[in-house]
Amino acid sequence: MYLSKSDFLKYHTCPSYFWLWIHNRDLIQDKTAEEVRENRFEQGNEVEKYARQLFPDGKLVSSYGEQAQEITQQLIKDGVNIIFQATVLTDNSLLAMADILEKDGDGWKLYEVKSTNEIKEDKHIPDTTFQRIAFEKAGYKITSVNIIHMNKTFVRNGEPMDAHSLMIIENVDALVNKILLEIKDEISFALEEMRNNEEPTACPCRLLSRGQHCPTFAYFNPDIPKYSVYDISRMQGKKLAELINSGVFEVSNVPDDFPLSSNQKIQVDAEKSGKIKIDKLAIKNELDSLEFPLYFLDYESVNPALPFMDGSTPYQQIVFQYSLHILDAPNAELHHTDFLSRDGDIESLRKLAESLQNNIGNKGSVIVWNKAFECSRNREIGRMLPEFANFMDDVNSRVYDLMDVFSKNYYVDPLFHGSNSIKDVLPVLAPHLSYKELNINKGDIASVKWFDVTIGKNQEEAEQVYADLLVYCGLDTLAMVEIYKALLHLH
């Protein structure tokens, strides 16, 4: 058995997760949708292809394992100075494939390609350090270690994109040297754990916040309820450790004198009392501030690593769809309009902006959920299409965030579990609406599906995907309408 870089990173994340991955990976439940995982993998491959353009004389090793090592060694004997996916296997322990290996005097420069806009030190440096250790263990002299990543200031302007402008090379020798001994020790421990047949009984993620839990947390911590102290807003560090070490897992069991922020206390008190807290006056003041017509607006967007639209940058969110429910007056009939781009060029974005301008009048409140997102998209559209800049600025000046009612704790229900997400609020205030039965029911799936059929040109599924997207985005704005109506009926 060989320890690969991807294996090692799982150990680095959590030794128990690593053990299960090696010995019984069928028990690991990855909550990320398959379409999203595949999309990330494909984007990584595309970024790597651009990075290879920086080294036009490189030769690719396209096999795996022992055969890949043999091909690598043969290329070196043949005098090849740049190798893509150069492979080493070390004395029955490590397997490493360098994204790019470049001859440098009597040694080699090692390059790792990352499909990100910047170096993530906590993630990228450990895996790059693993690569250096493996190659040095295999007898290579590594003269420098480098990371190639996206240039976040790059703006696409036609085809083809210039790899030298799109990519940035950064030397990370100092960062690698800083943790070299630590990673060597971790590799030794990982190899021991790989050969250990005894399943761990605990998971070290137990003292970490919810966002830091490994994919096997639930498996190794069956005593932790689905809704627990980990779900208390911003619960982390010493506070979280104190609760866990005291055996407090249920939110309702948090001691009354435990130090909490005001938001945390409201969430805990709601769970303890089981009572709904509603500040009717504050909600009335919020809703009274709205001006008719009311425009309930939602965007769907996609943010690929490689910009596909002129004027856009790596990982920029590009709006491809909107849904708009309109209420002209308090007792008026609700009507709906929408727009869905079926092309990935700047002209499709222009048509979307034109459609929006034709449907949103010059007065009235524009209601969204999480205005930071919609307002940022409006500013970006105005930057890419200056003729719509004034309109987008005007829309932003009239935006009202319906989520504020919940984020400001004017309406607190224990069933929200401390969340302000529309998908958590909707089942409580408008249970007749649901995302569960939709073919597309999450924003990340909507993005990758649209990208696949529009940019990837997967025509077989196109019409069904477009139909599903219209239903999904339409439900987002209808959900806001129904939540708004439910709040009105409180008075």
Nearest-angstrom CA–CA distance, 44 and 114: 7
User: Do residues 325 and 336 lie in contact, with contact meaning Cβ atoms separated by under 8 Å?
Assistant: yes
Nearest alpha-carbon partner for 117 in 313, 400, 411, 372: 313
Domain presence at residue 459: yes
Are residue 245 and residue 324 in the same domain, yes or no? no
Are residue 339 and residue 235 in the same domain, yes or no? no
DSSP annotation string for 111-169: EEE--SSS--HHHHHHHHHHHHHHHHHTT--EEEEEEEEE-TT----SSSPPHHHHEEE
pLDDT in tens, 13-36: 999 999 999 999 988 877 777 888
Domain presence at residue 200: no
Domain presence at residue 199: no
pLDDT in tens, 433-443: 999 999 999 99
Please report the pLDDT score of residue 445 as a whole number.
Answer: 95
Q: Which of 272, 292, 309 is the last residue of a domain?
A: 272
- Tokens for 246? 């005291």
- CB atoms inside a 10 Å sphere around CB 202: 10
Q: How far is CA 349 from the centre of its chain?
A: 23
Are residue 254 and residue 297 in the same domain, yes or no? no
Are residue 160 and residue 66 in the same domain, yes or no? yes
Are residue 333 and residue 462 in the same domain, yes or no? yes
Nearest alpha-carbon partner for 64 in 85, 80, 91: 85
With a cut of 90, say whether residue 262 has pLDDT above it: yes
pLDDT in tens, 30-71: 777 788 888 888 999 999 999 999 999 999 999 999 999 999
Q: Which residue has the tokens 């893509």?
A: 84
pLDDT bucket at 387, cuts 50 / 70 / 90: very high
Please report the pLDDT score of residue 36 as a whole number.
Answer: 87
User: Residue 279: exposed, middle, or buried by beta-carbon count in 10 A (0-12, 13-18, 19+)?
Assistant: middle
Nearest alpha-carbon partner for 405 in 287, 299, 326: 287
Across the range 303-314, mean pLDDT stands at: 96
Residue with more model confidence, 201 or 323: 323
Q: Which residue has the tokens 């790596």?
A: 314
435 is in which domain, residue-wise?
A: 281-488
- Tokens for 309? 């639209």
Are residue 255 and residue 378 in the same domain, yes or no? no
Are residue 26 and residue 117 in the same domain, yes or no? yes
Are residue 258 and residue 378 in the same domain, yes or no? no
Q: Which residues contact 315 (CB under 8 A, 6 or more apart)?
A: 117, 150, 152, 303, 304, 305
Domain presence at residue 218: no
- Tokens for 285? 């003041």
Structural domain count of the chain: 3
Distance in angstroms between the alpha carbons of the first and the last residue of the chain: 67
- Cα→Cα distances 403→242, 249, 406, 461, Å: 32, 28, 5, 34
pLDDT in tens, 115-127: 999 999 999 999 9
Q: Which residues contact 414 (CB under 8 A, 6 or more apart)?
A: 270, 271, 273, 274, 275, 276
Across the range 390-402, mean pLDDT stands at: 98
User: Do residues 115 and 44 lie in contact, with contact meaning Cβ atoms separated by under 8 Å?
Assistant: yes
Q: Which of 250, 272, 294 is the last residue of a domain?
A: 272
Across the range 312-320, mean pLDDT stands at: 97
Q: What is the mean pLDDT of the chain?
A: 95
Are residue 263 and residue 115 in the same domain, yes or no? no
With a cut of 80, say whether residue 249 has pLDDT above it: yes
Nearest-angstrom CA–CA distance, 220 and 255: 26
- Tokens for 457? 């040109």
With a cut of 80, say whether residue 255 has pLDDT above it: yes
With a cut of 90, say whether residue 315 has pLDDT above it: yes
Please report the pLDDT score of residue 335 as a whole number.
Answer: 97
Domain presence at residue 32: yes
User: Residue 85: exposed, middle, or buried by beta-carbon count in 10 A (0-12, 13-18, 19+)?
Assistant: buried
CATH of the domain at 330: 3.30.420.10
Domain presence at residue 327: yes
pLDDT in tens, 445-466: 999 999 999 998 888 899 999 9
Q: Which residue has the tokens 């309702």?
A: 252
Domain presence at residue 213: no
Across the range 465-477, mean pLDDT stands at: 97
pLDDT in tens, 184-228: 999 999 999 999 999 999 888 999 999 999 999 999 999 999 999
User: Do residues 127 and 11 lie in contact, with contact meaning Cβ atoms separated by under 8 Å?
Assistant: no
Domain presence at residue 201: no
Are residue 122 and residue 229 in the same domain, yes or no? no
Are residue 403 and residue 383 in the same domain, yes or no? yes
DSSP annotation string for 166-222: HEEEEE-HHHHHHHHHHHHHHHHHHHHHHT--SPPS--GGGGS-GGG--TTHHHH-T
Nearest alpha-carbon partner for 98 in 139, 128, 65: 128
CATH of the domain at 68: 3.90.320
- Tokens for 99? 């994204």
Please report the pLDDT score of residue 360 as a whole number.
Answer: 98
For residue 160, cis peptide bond before it (omega within 30 degrees of 0) = yes
pLDDT bucket at 284, cuts 50 / 70 / 90: very high
Q: How far is CA 332 from the centre of its chain?
A: 39
Q: pTM for the whole thing?
A: 0.93
Q: Which of 244, 272, 300 is the last residue of a domain?
A: 272
Please report the pLDDT score of residue 459 as a whole number.
Answer: 85
Are residue 291 and residue 266 in the same domain, yes or no? no
